[in-house]
Chains A and B, each alone.
Chain A
């Protein structure tokens, strides 16, 4: 089955680090991009950035550049924070993007991140 499986919900304190993951299965992982999208409680979708699994080439939204790091390994991608802020709270979705069709055609179920003192 073609799917993206995301790591579980996290509750963290401000200033802590965090890495959440997105594992792909059922397709040739290296031939696609994986993007990350944030949804704050009750709000819309925000594009965080995207990484090409074939060569780790990464593009970030200016709103998130320097705040998070996207990485890739054998069959998964990760989103990493060095120092969390309460404003980082939200649901983070990973989603697959093709090399020629740049929409997100497959989405993960999301990871809820809560940052609170």
Chain B
């Protein structure tokens, strides 16, 4: 099973700041099989990025994904109030599909 480790656990930032979230895999993943999801309080997850860097429909350009091999990054430029949420990475190269434990982006 591929283990995904996200860091930091919590990121305390202000609106307008840049957020940088990390997702590290226990073994190499093809970038085609790495996604990021956002979960706002009281809501279900929603897809942000797939294949490392492709934005899902309706996702603004301030959400950017990068990385390869075992290290992947989600960058959120100029945080908006609605971006304060929990973010999960997921690999879907191997079964079972696995998620990282999440990074909470909170208002400082």
Whether B45 lies near A45 (C-beta < 8 A) is yes
Binds B, one of A11-19, A81-89, A98-106: A98-106
Task: Please tell me the size bucket of the interface on A.
Answer: 20 to 34
Of residues 39 through 55 on chain B, the ones whose CB sits less than 8 Å from some CB of chain A are 43-47, 50-51
Helix, strand, loop or mixed for chain B's interface? Answer: loop
Chain B 18-59: CB-based contact to A (< 8 A → 1; otherwise 0): 000000000000000101010000011111001100001000
Interface presence of A63 (CB below 8 A):
yes
Interface presence of A93 (CB below 8 A):
yes
Of residues 13 through 57 on chain A, the ones whose CB sits less than 8 Å from some CB of chain B are 35, 37, 44-47, 50
The CA-CA distance from A44 to B4 in the complex, in Å, is 12
Closest chain B CB from A102 CB (angstroms): 4
Given contacts A44-B100, A45-B99, contact A108 B92 (CB under 8 A): no
Task: Please tell me the size bucket of the interface on B.
Answer: 20 to 34
Whether B45 lies near A107 (C-beta < 8 A) is yes
Closest chain B CB from A37 CB (angstroms): 8
Whether A46 lies near B99 (C-beta < 8 A) is yes
Interface presence of A61 (CB below 8 A):
yes
Given contacts A44-B101, A44-B102, A63-B96, contact A104 B47 (CB under 8 A): yes
Chain B 42-78: CB-based contact to A (< 8 A → 1; otherwise 0): 0111110011000010000000000000000000000
Give chain B's interface residues, CB within 8 Å of chain A: 1, 33, 35, 37, 43-47, 50-51, 56, 88, 90, 92, 95-102
